[in-house]
Structure 1
Amino acid sequence: MDEVDRSILAVLEQHGRISNAELAARVGLSPSPCLRRVRRLEETGLIRGYRALVDPAAVGRGLRVFAGIRLVRHARADVVAFERAVVRLPEVVQSHHVTGNYDYLLQVEVADLPAYEDFHANRLASLPGVAMVTSYVTMKTLSPDTA
């Protein structure tokens, strides 16, 4: 991977639907070599896919909560049971195994606070091996687009 590939990746990370002609112009290539590079980046797995960023509030997921999860035990069977269960919850849009005070950090999106209260009490806290859940309600999300 060279500097041109890095430039292609940087542009595609911000503008995944950019046309090949526009991408080529931004990175200083003609369209054919640019397209070959993009295809190679896809084939080698450096580009894993493309997706739409959906406004969560517009689809009934206006409340974002980060939940720190601590497990009771760290035996492999307990970890596997938790991981298999948590990835099945549609409210959990990202799940990260982390170091520090928690074992997992989850990004949860639900309609509102009563919906999160129900999710927390009836689904999240009852996952296999969960000892503790600490919730952080998002008040504002910052990104380069909002600055």
Structure 2
Amino acid sequence: MIELDDIDRALITALCEDATQSAGALGRAFGLSQPAAWRRIKRLRDAGVFEPRRVDLDLEQLGFGVTVYLGIKLATKGRVSLEDFERAVAAIPEVQTVQHVLGLYDYRLRVVATDLPDFERILRRRIMTLPGVGNVEANVLLSEERLSGPL
């Protein structure tokens, strides 16, 4: 775990609000030189505080109008390894996240589809044929609000 001071926390907050800000602009905002701000950001990145950079896509604009969260209970954990299930589910492009969870289900998947018939096709042909799949519960996402800012 990395030790953070007030400037580190302020940099994290500012980058969460707008990750495109330059080290120079951040330095000016927090009374640092551009190299000093860059070194702090690099230290935070190297310590794993920031996830690798990625682009957040607007799924609706790309034609994915349905998001479904699936709870999956494996039928028999002894006969199929968790690694086999995880490897197989990771090969399905419509599955956006795979979470191994504790509780009623063994896994929680976030699946995107163009519409409900497309989701049904994905469920029948891809999800239900995965090794070890037992019970499946689907929850269709109706709306989503993003929480802004860092923890």
* Same fold flag (TM > 0.5): yes
Q: CA deviation at 1:65?
A: 0.6
Which of 110, 119, 124 does residue 122 from structure 2 map onto? 119
Which amino acid in structure 2 is aligned with residue 104 of structure 1?
Y
Match of 1:129 in 2: 132
Which 10-residue stretch deviates more, 92-101 or 71-80? Answer: 71-80
Which letter does structure 2 place at the counterpart of 1:15?
Answer: D
Structure 1 runs of 4+ with >4 Å offset: none
Partner of 1:95: 98
Normalized against structure 1, the TM-score is what?
Answer: 0.88
Give the structure 1 partner of residue 70 of structure 2.
67
Q: Please point out which of 35, 57, 72 is paired with 2:38.
A: 35
RMSD (Å), alpha carbons: 1.8
Output the amino acid matched with 2:41.
V
**Structure 1 alignment gaps of length 5 or more:** none
- Structure 2 residue matching 1:95: 3-state secondary structure: strand
Greater alpha carbon shift after TM alignment, 21-30 vs 91-100: 21-30
Identity within the alignment, %: 34
Structure 1: how far apart are the matches of 2:79 and 2:51?
A: 28
Q: What is the aligned counterpart of 2:144 among 122, 127, 141? A: 141
Distance 2:50 2:84 in 1: 30
Q: Equivalent residue of 2:56, what SS?
A: coil
Q: Does the C-alpha gap of structure 1 residues 135 and 36 become closer, same or farther in structure 2, counting only changes over 3 Å? A: same
Unaligned runs of 5+ in 2: none
Once residues 132 and 60 of structure 1 are traced to their aligned partners in structure 2, the CA distance between those partners, rounded to angstroms, is: 29
Give the structure with the larger helix fraction.
1
Take 2:24 and 2:75, find their aligned partners in 1: how far apart are those partners?
54
Q: 1:50 is matched with which residue? A: 53
Displacement of 1:87 in angstroms is 0.8
- Measured against aligned partners, the alpha-carbon deviations of 1:50-75 in whole angstroms (never above 9, x if no partner) come to 11111001112121110001001223
User: Alignment partner of 1:93: what SS?
Assistant: strand
Q: For 2:81, what is the secondary structure of its paired residue?
A: helix
